[in-house]
Amino acid sequence: MNKNNKDKLIFFDTTLRDVEQSPGASMNLKEKLLVADQLATLGVDVIEAGFPVSSHVEILKL
């Protein structure tokens, strides 16, 4: 991080990842894209969507 960004707050969201790990909760692709779009609109810097290395299915979800 350079000197100009030392006071910048970075928003890191795990909603898309965490919902898949919550018992009984899931989102389809359309819902995930809607949430991701809203997070981006809010200015979230990093959107963690899942663990693509965990399985072939996870890669397809992303």
Whether 9 has a pLDDT exceeding 70, the answer reads yes
Domain containing residue 47: 11-61
47 close to 36: Cβ distance less than 8 angstroms: yes
In a domain, residue 2? The reply is no
- Report the domain count for the chain: 1
- On the question of pLDDT at 1 being above 60, the answer is no
Is 57 inside any structural domain? yes
- Residue with more model confidence, 37 or 5: 37
The pLDDT of residue 23: 86
Sign of the CA dihedral running 46, 52, 58, 61: positive
Question: In this model, does residue 34 exceed pLDDT 90?
Answer: yes
**3-state SS string for the chain:** CCHHHCCCCCCEECHHHHHHHCCCCCCCHHHHHHHHHHHHHCCCCEECCCCCCCCHHHHHHC
Task: Report pLDDT for 49.
Answer: 80
Average pLDDT of span 22-41: 90
Q: Is residue 5 part of a domain?
A: no
The reported pLDDT for the residue numbered 18 is 85
